């Protein structure tokens, strides 16, 4: 983040497509002309990026509707959590779009095409307002006051296993069927480390409908799933977007006049106050559903605070003494910015892992949808979390799938993590039942009805 230098604070967008919409006066400084071109390109490139993301998700929904054999398009869009699945892409465009809009309005006097800049500036302002308003509307419309339709509660904690375990529908924690390993063995230390990593990314808070009927309220929960799996306090999501936009605007606005040191210092102090306030709010409220998201958010805010503070102190030192005496503050600020990039890269890696898992889960769902009842293996009840630890679902599985879509009596409310689990369950089932449906080791009675088995398995044979 660059404060007090508007030309350097403006970039070309998340994915700069290099649009050149008009030519400015050659008498302007090269850095200013380059910044104006970048600002225009940033707004157009970000709009194009959002359009491509929306078209891609709609195409996936249409393909899902076709491949699943008759699932309505509206339900298919819910499978991909539209419109909340656009929010991550939209959020990444906020800083560059806000900075570009402020810069275009601030440099209208130097613009070679002021009409174009006004239109792009208005489009940029509207773009940066949408996420915060959407989060605020979601909070006020569904979770605020006596008329709230959703609530968020903490899942059960299994203290004996030293881990957080999501509660089953009966309120019981999941049973840990893993084999005990000696605490002195190297393998147990590795398992302990992996356990802590997994628990750090486990969603400890879960959104539910107030009336307890997820089927009736499911469509809205599904469409907001990307937001609900990240935040347990929705007003903080609106605050986060608003602060992100405000910081970008202050970074550019404070550097529009290089000679006005008071404007520079005031905007830097205002940005620092916003960041410190958001950090204090995040620590006090803990608005995220996972521990990792909380640590990531607080670490990013703290590092950004240090970066802005370093630039503020450097500005104060440069105005009162030799400008070279405080260069270490600029270096420290740059190091903090690089650390923010590193922390964000770690989060990006985990997001990619989650994306791969989401693709695999939807592949399994599609396979089940395309299979008739007699082609589906005889599975144990996939809702029986106490029977098999491997059936632990993720929060997204419960929110991102239309509950009205079922295969005979097999609900797709919870799914297996991989195809190997399907095969394993099939093999386990063969240990108790033969091909005719009779229990192994029990004398078969002529004409015996296996309705109980069918009811337990949820499958018609």
pLDDT tens readout for residues 17-50: 888 888 877 778 888 888 899 999 999 999 999 9
Place of tokens 């190091």: 335
pTM across the whole model: 0.75
Q: For residue 342, is it within any domain? A: yes
- Dihedral of the alpha carbons of 243, 249, 251, 252, in degrees to the nearest 10: 170
Are 1 and 307 in contact by the 8 Å Cβ rule? The answer is: yes
Q: What is the DSSP string of 224-275?
A: THHHHTTBSSHHHHHHHHHHHHHHHHHHHHTTS-TT-HHHHHHHHHHHHHHH
Domain end: 358, 385, 410, which one? 358
- Judge if 262 and 334 occupy the same domain: yes
The H-or-E segment that residue 7 falls in is helix 6-9
Are 392 and 443 in contact by the 8 Å Cβ rule? The answer is: no
Residue 69 tokens, joined: 């054999």
- Judge if 270 and 400 occupy the same domain: no
For residues 233 and 67, what is the distance between their CA atoms, to the nearest angstrom? 36
Q: For residue 409, is it within any domain? A: yes
Q: For residue 211, is it within any domain? A: no
- Judge if 248 and 397 occupy the same domain: no
Q: How far is CA 55 from CA 72, 90, 233, 400, in A?
A: 18, 14, 30, 19
- Judge if 265 and 314 occupy the same domain: yes
Domain end: 358, 382, 397, which one? 358
- Judge if 336 and 402 occupy the same domain: no
The H-or-E segment that residue 219 falls in is helix 214-223
For residues 95 and 395, what is the distance between their CA atoms, to the nearest angstrom? 29
Q: For residue 163, is it within any domain? A: no
- Judge if 239 and 300 occupy the same domain: yes
- Judge if 24 and 76 occupy the same domain: yes
- Judge if 341 and 426 occupy the same domain: no
Query: Can you give the pLDDT at residue 459?
Result: 41
pLDDT tens readout for residues 222-262: 899 999 999 999 999 999 999 999 999 999 988 888 777 88
Exposure pattern of 33-47 as b/e (b: 16+ CB <10 Å)?
Answer: bebbbbbbbbbbbbb
- Judge if 129 and 245 occupy the same domain: yes
- Judge if 340 and 402 occupy the same domain: no
| Helical residues (DSSP H) of 286-326, grouped into ranges | 291-320
SS3 80: coil
- Judge if 287 and 340 occupy the same domain: yes
Count of CB atoms situated within 10 Å of the CB of 218: 20
Q: How far is CA 76 from CA 80, 84, 142, 388, 393, in A?
A: 7, 14, 23, 29, 20
Q: For residue 405, is it within any domain? A: yes
The series of mean pLDDT values per 10 residues for the chain, 461 residues long, is: 83 85 81 90 95 95 86 87 93 94 91 91 95 95 88 67 43 40 55 77 87 68 90 96 95 85 90 96 95 94 94 80 72 91 90 88 82 41 31 40 37 39 53 60 48 44 40
Q: What is the DSSP string of 20-71?
A: ------TTS-HHHHHHHHHHHHHHHHHHHHHHHHHHHHHHHHHHHHHHTTS-
Q: For residue 395, is it within any domain? A: yes
Q: For residue 428, is it within any domain? A: yes
Domain end: 309, 337, 358, which one? 358
Domain with 326, as residue range(s), is 6-148+220-358
- Judge if 341 and 413 occupy the same domain: no
Q: For residue 363, is it within any domain? A: no
Number of domains into which the chain is organized: 2
């Amino acid at each position: 983040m660059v404060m007090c230098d508007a030309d350097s604070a403006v970039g070309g967008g998340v994915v700069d497509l290099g649009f050149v919409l008009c030519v400015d006066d050659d008498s302007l400084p090269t850095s200013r002309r380059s910044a104006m071109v970048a600002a225009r390109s940033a707004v157009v490139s970000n709009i194009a990026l959002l359009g491509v993301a929306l078209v891609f998700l709609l195409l996936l929904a249409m393909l899902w509707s076709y491949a699943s054999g008759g699932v309505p398009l509206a339900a298919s869009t819910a499978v991909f959590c539209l419109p909340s699945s656009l929010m991550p892409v939209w959020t990444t465009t906020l800083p560059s779009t806000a900075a570009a809009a402020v810069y275009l309005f601030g440099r209208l006097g130097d613009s070679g095409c002021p009409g174009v800049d006004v239109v792009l500036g208005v489009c940029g302002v509207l773009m940066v307002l949408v996420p915060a308003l959407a989060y605020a509307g979601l909070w006020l419309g569904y979770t605020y006051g006596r008329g709230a339709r959703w609530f968020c509660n903490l899942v059960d904690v299994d203290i004996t296993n030293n881990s957080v375990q999501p509660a089953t529908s009966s309120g019981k924690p999941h049973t840990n069927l893993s084999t005990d390993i000696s605490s002195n063995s190297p393998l147990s230390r590795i398992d302990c480390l992996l356990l802590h990593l997994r628990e750090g990314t486990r969603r400890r808070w879960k959104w539910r409908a107030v009336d307890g009927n997820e089927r009736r309220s499911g469509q809205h929960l599904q469409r907001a799933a990307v937001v609900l799996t990240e935040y347990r306090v929705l007003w903080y999501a609106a605050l986060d977007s608003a602060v992100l936009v405000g910081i970008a605007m202050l970074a550019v606005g404070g550097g529009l006049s290089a000679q006005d040191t008071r404007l520079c210092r005031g905007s830097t102090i205002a940005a620092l106050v916003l960041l410190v306030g958001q950090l204090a709010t995040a620590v006090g409220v803990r608005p995220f559903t996972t521990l990792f998201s909380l640590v990531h958010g607080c670490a990013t805010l703290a590092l950004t605070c240090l970066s802005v503070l370093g630039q503020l102190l450097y500005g104060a030192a440069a105005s009162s003494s030799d400008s070279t005496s405080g260069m270490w503050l600029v270096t420290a600020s740059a190091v903090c910015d690089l650390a923010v990039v590193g922390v964000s890269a770690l989060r990006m890696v985990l997001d990619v892992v989650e994306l791969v898992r989401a693709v695999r889960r939807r592949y399994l769902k599609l396979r089940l949808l395309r299979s008739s009842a007699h082609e589906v293996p005889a599975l144990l009840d996939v809702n029986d979390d106490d029977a098999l630890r491997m059936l632990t679902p993720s929060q997204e599985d419960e929110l991102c799938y239309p509950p009205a879509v079922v295969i005979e009596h097999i609900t797709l409310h919870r799914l297996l993590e991989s195809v190997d689990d399907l095969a394993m369950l099939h093999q386990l089932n063969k240990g108790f039942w033969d091909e005719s449906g009779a229990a192994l080791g029990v004398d078969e009675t002529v004409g015996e009805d296996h309705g109980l088995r069918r009811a337990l398995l949820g499958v018609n044979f």
